[in-house]
Amino acid sequence: MSDYKNIWVLIDIQNGQAKTLELLTGGRKLADAVSEKLVAVVIGSGTDAAVKDAVANGADQILVVDGADYADYSTEGYTYALEQLAGKYKPAALLIGATISGRDLAPRLAARLKTGLAADCTDLEIDAGTGTIQWTRPAYGGNELAVIETPGARPQLGTVRPSAFKRGEPDTARTAEIIKEDIALPAGTIRTSIIERIAEVAEGIKLEDAEVVVSGGRGVGSTENFALLKELADLMGGAVGASRAAVDAGWISHVAQVGQTGKTVSPKLYIACGISGAIQHLAGMSGSDVVIAINRDPDAPIFEVADYGIVGNIKDVLPALTEAIKKLKA
Amino acid sequence: MNILVCIKQVPDIEKIKVDSAKKVMIMDGVPNIVNQFDTYALETAVRIKDADPATKVFVVTMGPAQTKDAMKSCLSVGADRAYMVTDDVMNDSDTLATSYVLSAAAKAIEAREGVTFDLILCGKQAADGDTGHVGPQLAEYLNYPQITSASEITVDGGKVSARRPTDEGAEVVAAVLPAVVTMSQTAYEPRYASVKTKMAANRAEIPVLTAADLSLDAAGVGLAGSPSKVIKTFVPERKKGGLKIQEETGELSAQKLTALLSDAGVI
Amino acid sequence: MFFNDDHNDIRALAREFAEKELAPIANEIDQNDEVPQRIYDLMAEMGFFGLKIPEEYGGLGLDTRSYVCVMEEICKKSIAASLVMSSCNSLSTAPMLLAGTEEQKQKYIPKIASGEEFMAFGLTEPGAGSDAASMTTRAVEDGDSYILNGRKCFITGAPFAQNTVIFAKTSPEKGAKGITSFIVDMSLPGVSVGKHEDKMGLRGVATSDVVLEDVRVPKDCILGEIDRGFITAMKTLNTGRIGVSCQGIGVAQGAMDEAVPYMKERKQFGQRLADFQGLRFLMADCEARLNAARLSVYNAAYMMDMKEDATKAASMAKYFATETGLDIVSKCLQMFGGYGYVKEYPIERMYRDARVLTIFEGTSQVQQIVIAGELFGR
């Protein structure tokens, strides 16, 4: 086990852009605690920009696997590449973003490497003596947190919510050792193929990046009423989110879903409109700095987590709120 | 074709309450149900059977004796045959050990029934652990391709294609059969049992497989076979409720809130 | 004690259906005065319409307790949604099962069990409720037919029924012993339905008059023997009483299920309603009486299943369960204070729905007559 050294972070690449750079902040904390290197792993086709971003965001070393085989994410291709890298370099731990592809990849890789895995982690600590990581993660729909360890196997694997860490200021003057690995996939490794891509990119600011999120739930009542939320979000330079109930009702795309089975957001201001506050939803927005709840039901659980609450109908309150903020800004 | 659907019986998390003083979840009186995403997986399988009556749908679960209720429930909504994998040596298995057991169970059921599974469906994650590991790990043990979080699938010409969300939007992915697909919520709701199918399920024989029946390597199951260890669990702190505004009209409430936000420097 | 594993599973199925499908729309059913067709389709698919109907006529041939389990669970969320299934299992099919020919049974019952057709029950008249002997609808023999004239009122489902069992006097001079029952095709010339009654509660299932003007009904539509219809009617009503008693315990439990959590949340004078001893005792009283009512219903159902004479037991169950149920719903509404009186909370609808239970299918007073008759002799 002592052969296994260094904290690895897998950098997600989406449309050529490096994602999950926040994980480098978490990885840095762990690496420093055990005085090991923070290594970014970049897999893709055309990775130069992502490599630069990884360096600027704090990686000591970059492992790059660049090739046409990796142009699109595939479970089997990426698992194979990481298996080869892990076999050669023996990392102590690998952090993977708890994104849709990360949560597809990590369990497959953990089974390939016969090691433990903690899913969807919100916090990380490390024992400086043993190098064992304590992965904190929600279970039971966020009702409970569990601390997971993989004391007897290496590498230690976890998927980590990007929102668990804040990205540091990138330092473009930083340098790091860049190691390119050529890993050719044996024929027939990938048994899946992408038939169609459906872009459902939400207009305007991305939900995860927005500083203000105006979210709607069952109480919004219709697609038309979501326009009221959009108006307020636009005014405040924010994005529109939704609870699962609103997505299920078909009022808004799943891309906007916040919660246990949707996105995790941590904006400066979260405005929950007609959202009762089921624990599954709270799991996706509890990191918000300030929470405002607007709900007709004075007993809705959302008020328990809200800093400010308005008891009332969103159809009355939202336009008035938009108007009042407009005046304030003028 | 033959489909195996992996089922987990979980507590109905919607009914879990938290004792905030004692900081524990109150599990008393919380009923056990079939994991919701698994019900979508089963409904998807049964819909394939509806379209092609030559299809047989099998379900399997690993768990204690009371998982029989989950199996009866699956039989009442269209599964043809249900298997339980029940053995104390499997207690405290993590997802890796669970996947190992299920992969062995899939092989054992194939041998007993004289079938081969073309498609294995799972829910994308279980409501208790929320890991989403077992589907992909089962695929790895069986050396099958995987598609996770599918909301819609079609099977045609030796392939399964599935619509799944991506971090950008959605995609349709095809996998060569046999394959493991984990199901997210589908556009259709799982069907209800009928009084008739419910009563028939009560009378169905549900075989129980043990570790011995699966010729498992003891080192791979239970606590010993689980590299992931749960060190502790706790109920997270919640912040206390803040200020509640309820003026005569929505407009007055909105104005009061705006003033408060402005004073607090939030906007 | 009263129930086996099958009963419990059937109850669980009905509960799941009621909680998922009925609870969210129960107030909508009331406001729109319509039960959505998909609810009926689901109930038919699940087998609820044919629970007690024998298997040879397309039903499940289950016992009365199975029917009680389903009715009770559905009525916790919406009595209106129980009316059609209740009818299919009793008023719609009992007359044919009791008195019909094999041909009639085969012709009508399977379609009722599958939900394709509805058969209404036409006994009550403007001037004759439980006093069936005073009915004025006439049937006069004319060749191979009977000519029917008269008016039936408060007929549940008449506007959408394909057929109605009509009770009419064939021998007016013989009073109750001169009544014959007919299966009347609602599309026959001379049959019309009156206006859809604007009811206080149980909104969602249309109730109206059935008007018969020189309706020519072929003789093969006579149900049972001439002049023997009254006995068919009375026996049918006996089986119907158990259904109404289920509505009573169902709605009462539904009201308790609304009131108890509310009382744990709602604070007045610095404490929860659930902490006021006066209210605690009041709810304890409701709980105890509801339990007694439930046992009286289960007891009557059990006697029916054991083929014992349940006339008195069913009347007592109907009387006690509906009077007690109505009172419990009223007490639960009281817990909500002013909120109990507005349509936003389900308790307001439950109260209106429950009000009819002591009236239809034999008022409480008629039940008392039956019970007293058993005590003192008629």
Determine the pLDDT at residue C339. 87
Domain count, chain A: 2
pLDDT confidence tier of residue B240, bands split at 50, 70 and 90: low
Task: Flag whether residue A202 sits within 8 Å of chain B, measured between CB atoms.
Answer: no
Task: Give residue-wise pLDDT tens across range C288-324.
Answer: 999 999 999 999 999 999 999 999 999 999 999 999 9
pLDDT confidence tier of residue A203, bands split at 50, 70 and 90: low
Task: Flag whether residue B14 sits within 8 Å of chain C, measured between CB atoms.
Answer: no
Structure tokens at A142: 């966020």
pLDDT surpasses 70 at B194: yes
Which residues of chain B have a CB within 8 Å of the CB of C46?
192-195
Instruction: Using CA coordinates, name the residue in chain C closest to B77.
Output: C46
Same domain, B45 and B132: yes
How many A/B residue pairs have CB atoms within 8 Å? 255
Domain contains B205: yes
Task: Give residue-wise pLDDT tens across range B215-232.
Answer: 998 899 999 999 999 999
DSSP run (H or E) holding B126: none
CA angle C163, C167, C168 (to 5 degrees): 120
Structure tokens at B75: 């039989």
Same domain, A47 and A82: yes
Structure tokens at C153: 């009122």
CATH number at residue A286: 3.40.50.1220
- Overall average pLDDT of the C180-201 stretch: 94
A107 and B229 within 8 Å at the Cβ level: the answer is no
Determine the pLDDT at residue C265. 78
Task: Flag whether residue B194 sits within 8 Å of chain C, measured between CB atoms.
Answer: yes
pLDDT surpasses 90 at B56: yes
Answer with the residue of higher pLDDT: C38 or B247.
C38
Same domain, A259 and A217: yes
Structure tokens at A42: 């970049």
Positions at the binding site of A = 218, 243-244, 257-261, 274-281, 295
- In sequence order, the 6+-apart residues with CB closer than 8 A to the CB of C160 are C118, C206
Domain contains B200: yes
Q: In whole angstroms, give the CA distance from residue A67 to residue A48.
A: 12
pLDDT confidence tier of residue B239, bands split at 50, 70 and 90: low
Identify the domain containing residue B259 by its residue range.
Answer: 242-267
Determine the pLDDT at residue B22. 81
Task: Give residue-wise pLDDT tens across range C145-185.
Answer: 999 999 999 999 999 999 999 999 999 999 899 999 999 99
Domain contains A1: no
CATH number at residue B121: 3.40.50.620
pLDDT surpasses 80 at A193: yes
| E strand intervals along chain C | 119-122, 138-142, 145-156, 163-169, 179-185, 191-193, 207-218, 222-223, 267-268, 271-272
Share of chain C above pLDDT 70, in %: 100
Sheet containing B208-209, strands listed edge to edge, beginning at the edge strand earlier in sequence: B146-150, B179-183, B119-123, B2-7, B56-62, B81-85, B208-209
Q: State the catalytic residues of C.
A: 361
- List subunits contacting chain B, requiring 3 or more Cβ pairs under 8 Å: A, C
Question: Which of the 8 DSSP states describes residue A140?
Answer: G
pLDDT confidence tier of residue C13, bands split at 50, 70 and 90: very high
Share of chain C above pLDDT 90, in %: 88
pLDDT confidence tier of residue C263, bands split at 50, 70 and 90: very high
B229 and A148 within 8 Å at the Cβ level: the answer is yes
pLDDT confidence tier of residue A134, bands split at 50, 70 and 90: very high
Task: Give residue-wise pLDDT tens across range C103-161.
Answer: 999 999 999 999 999 999 999 999 887 787 789 999 999 999 999 999 999 999 999 99
Which residues of chain B have a CB within 8 Å of the CB of A119?
129-133
Domain contains B82: yes
Domain contains B237: no
Task: Flag whether residue A324 sits within 8 Å of chain B, measured between CB atoms.
Answer: yes
pTM here is 0.85
Which residues of chain B have a CB within 8 Å of the CB of A207?
none
End-of-domain residue from the set C62, C82, C113 = C113
pLDDT surpasses 90 at B166: no
Residue C214, classified by CB atoms within 10 Å of its CB into exposed (0-12), middle (13-18) or buried (19+), is: exposed
3-class secondary-structure state, position C135 = coil
Domain contains B233: no
Determine the pLDDT at residue C367. 95
- Exposure pattern of C8-41 as b/e (b: 16+ CB <10 Å)? ebbbbbbbbbbeebbeebbbebbeeeebeeebbe
B202 vs C5, C51, C70: nearest CB: C5
Q: Which of residues 40-99 of A touch B (CB under 8 A)?
A: 75-76, 79, 99
- Overall average pLDDT of the C10-16 stretch: 96
- Overall average pLDDT of the B98-114 stretch: 97
Domain contains B186: yes
CA angle C171, C172, C177 (to 5 degrees): 65
Q: Strand pairing partners for A127?
A: none
Q: Which of residues 88-147 of A touch B (CB under 8 A)?
A: 99-101, 103-104, 106-108, 110-112, 114-120, 134, 138-147
Task: Flag whether residue B143 sits within 8 Å of chain A, measured between CB atoms.
Answer: no
Same domain, A255 and A168: no
Identify the domain containing residue A221 by its residue range.
Answer: 207-329
Determine the pLDDT at residue B238. 64
- Whether the ω angle into residue C218 lies within 30 degrees of 0, i.e. cis, is no
Identify the domain containing residue C29 by its residue range.
Answer: 5-113
B148 and A104 within 8 Å at the Cβ level: the answer is yes
Structure tokens at C249: 């315990």
Same domain, B103 and B57: yes
Positions at the binding site of A for FAD = 218, 243-244, 257-261, 274-281, 295
Domain count, chain B: 2
Task: Flag whether residue B202 sits within 8 Å of chain C, measured between CB atoms.
Answer: yes
B195 and C16 within 8 Å at the Cβ level: the answer is no
Task: Flag whether residue A235 sits within 8 Å of chain B, measured between CB atoms.
Answer: no
pLDDT confidence tier of residue A202, bands split at 50, 70 and 90: low
Same domain, C369 and C243: yes
Q: Strand pairing partners for A197?
A: B171
B192 vs C9, C42, C62: nearest CB: C42
Q: Report which of C355, C164, C161 is spatially closest to residue C244, judged by C-alpha positions.
A: C355
Structure tokens at B248: 């005569």
pLDDT surpasses 60 at A201: no
pLDDT confidence tier of residue B58, bands split at 50, 70 and 90: very high
Determine the pLDDT at residue C109. 97
Task: Flag whether residue A195 sits within 8 Å of chain B, measured between CB atoms.
Answer: yes
* Contact between A280 and A301 (Cβ < 8 Å): no
Same domain, B85 and B142: yes
Share of chain A above pLDDT 90, in %: 67
- In sequence order, the 6+-apart residues with CB closer than 8 A to the CB of C141 are C170
